[in-house]
Amino acid sequence: MRNDGRAPVIEMMLIEFCRKAVFFLRNWQIYVGRDPQCVSGPALIVFPLIPATLFCGLAGILAIRKKVKPVQPGGDLYESFGRAIGKDLASLLEGKIAATEYLGGKSSLEEMERELLDLKGEEVFRRIFFTEEEAQRLKDLSARMSAFLTAEEILLDQKAGCLSTTDLETVNSGLVLIRDLLWGLDHDILDNVQRIVALAGADGVADIDPEALPKYRKLNSLLNCLDRLEVRGRDS
């Protein structure tokens, strides 16, 4: 019988498949006929049941609830921004830092972008929504970012002639990213808290059922997209 070397490969694939199957069965919970929002991940839900929703295709047979990585709402971004503004325009003009170190440099700016994205996660947004202290911390961060941008832009207008073209571009790029972070914090997180409360017809956050929040958030996201499309349509 001819041996073309495929048998060992197939055997290794089967072993790997069995290993992954055992890992799955040991670490994932399996439910039948449950609402995905009412179970903790990681979980596999067969025939998911969501009130007032009729599925078709695979969505009506299988749903996956992933395990959510815990993130401290606002904490990391607040602290990262605090470190970044220690390397501000005044420090650059005084020669204490190089232009590439402005606001902590590229790595610091990218880190803050990731941390803002983390705040948009389902479980983290839930904590922000229902915990006034977390929401207030982000409001304080928003005010701090806004004040910093105003001060930096005033100083830049006064001292732009002291910077080379390359350094000026680096500073402007950093300020644009902080402005984008501020916009995302205000419009994608803080404003949406009040929009969801209004959408639910509630008097306040406390009047909203935690289990209903994901549905209101998805509907609010859809309305936001439609609103932005309408604005872009008018602008064009």
- 55 and 82 fall within a common domain: no
- 49 and 79 fall within a common domain: no
Which strand (E) or helix (H) includes residue 63? Answer: strand 62-65
| This model's pTM is above 0.85 | no
| Contact (Cβ atoms closer than 8 angstroms) between residue 220 and residue 196 | yes
- 166 and 123 fall within a common domain: yes
Assigned domain for 7 exists: no
Render pLDDT for 181-224 as a digit per residue (tens, 0 to 9): 999 999 999 999 999 999 999 999 999 988 889 889 989 988 88
Of all residues in the chain, what percent carry a pLDDT higher than 70?
A: 82
**Long-range Cβ contacts of 43-47 (<8 Å, 24+ apart):** none
- 189 and 90 fall within a common domain: yes
CA gap 163, 142 in Å, rounded: 28
Assigned domain for 125 exists: yes
Residue 74 has pLDDT above 60, yes or no: no
| Contact (Cβ atoms closer than 8 angstroms) between residue 203 and residue 128 | no
- Tell me the β-bridge partners of 234: none
Assigned domain for 222 exists: no
pLDDT for position 3:
53
- In angstroms, the Cα distances linking 99 to 81, 127, 171 are 17, 37, 7
Helix/strand/coil for 112: helix
Question: For the chain, what is the domain count?
Answer: 2
With 0-12 CB in 10 A as exposed, 13-18 as middle and 19+ as buried, what is 8? exposed
- 117 and 173 fall within a common domain: yes
Assigned domain for 44 exists: yes
pLDDT for position 183:
96
Assigned domain for 20 exists: no
Of all residues in the chain, what percent carry a pLDDT higher than 90?
A: 53
Which token pair is 225? 């997209």
Rg (CA), the chain: 25
- 62 and 112 fall within a common domain: no
pLDDT for position 148:
98
Range of the domain at 105: 75-204
- 46 and 159 fall within a common domain: no
| Contact (Cβ atoms closer than 8 angstroms) between residue 116 and residue 77 | yes
- 56 and 116 fall within a common domain: no
